Amino acid sequence: MNKVISYYNQFDEWGRLDREPVEFQVNWHYIKNFLPAKGHISDIGAGPGKYSMELAKHGYNVTLADLSPRLVDLAKEKAIEQDLSYKFNNFMVADARELRMLDSDQFDASLMLGPMYHIQDESDRIKAINELNRITKRGGLVFVAFMSRIRHIFTSLLYPKHWKPNDNMETINHFSQKGCFDHSDEGRFTGAYYFNIEKIRPFMESQGFESLELLGSNVGAILTEESWSYWEEKGEEKEVIKFLIDKAADPYLLGISTHLLYIGRKK
């Protein structure tokens, strides 16, 4: 996991969600609609705390954890800047696979919006989801982000020079079978795992969750900068975003979204 820490030490994750606002808006719309009216929420793999801050603003008590000490410090700074520190129970440096510092059945809901991207070994993915299950109360909700394998295949086909070693069909076919991706170019997106969409619900259900929803966080990723400029100039950008939010859970559109959000309930 040292490569993950190194990558996020130089990457602007807070800014990414500002640059790609549709993903945040879609996710927050559904998270907000499913959450209980109040409670204690864990945000595991929270990065700089973009979602945690929103949770705190809406009155939830939050425990934030991330693998990167830099991002945990940044989250603390953001909480102070926004006068939200009093809503945070803790800021912790922690590995999603081992959350021994957190009690069992502690949280009314839990977010895990980053770790599943970076855990390439299946047994470690199971460890992380088992920990998510353990710390969440029975009947509590979980929100888990995944990356789509089929979308990454087509992204590689579209921009092969940008996604080496997926710049030839032999490697792409291998990735299609295994789902693991390690960028050839130094400093680019770290080792990652991409799920087959049809495997996400069974995976989560096998670890003790009832599936409630699976949605595409950014089906609008298919739109180009030119497309967005057109709708902005027409003054209809908000209508487009509302349309994307409304269509996020359409199963026929999941494959065009780079990120997916699973919503489940602990049995």
> pLDDT tens, position by position, for the chain (267 residues)?
555 545 455 555 556 556 667 899 999 999 999 999 999 999 999 999 999 999 999 999 999 999 999 999 999 999 999 999 999 999 999 999 999 999 999 999 999 999 999 999 999 999 999 999 999 999 999 999 999 999 999 999 999 999 999 999 999 999 999 999 998 887 666 689 999 999 999 999 999 999 999 999 999 888 988 999 999 999 999 999 999 999 999 999 999 999 999 999 999
CB atoms within 10 A of CB 39: 16
What's residue 14's pLDDT?
Answer: 56
What's residue 2's pLDDT?
Answer: 52
Helical spans, DSSP H, in the chain = 2-10, 13-19, 21-34, 50-57, 69-81, 115-118, 122-135, 149-158, 169-178, 197-206, 225-233, 237-247
CB atoms within 10 A of CB 244: 24
What's residue 203's pLDDT?
Answer: 98
Residue ranges and CATH numbers for the domains of the chain are: 2-148+195-266 (3.40.50.150)
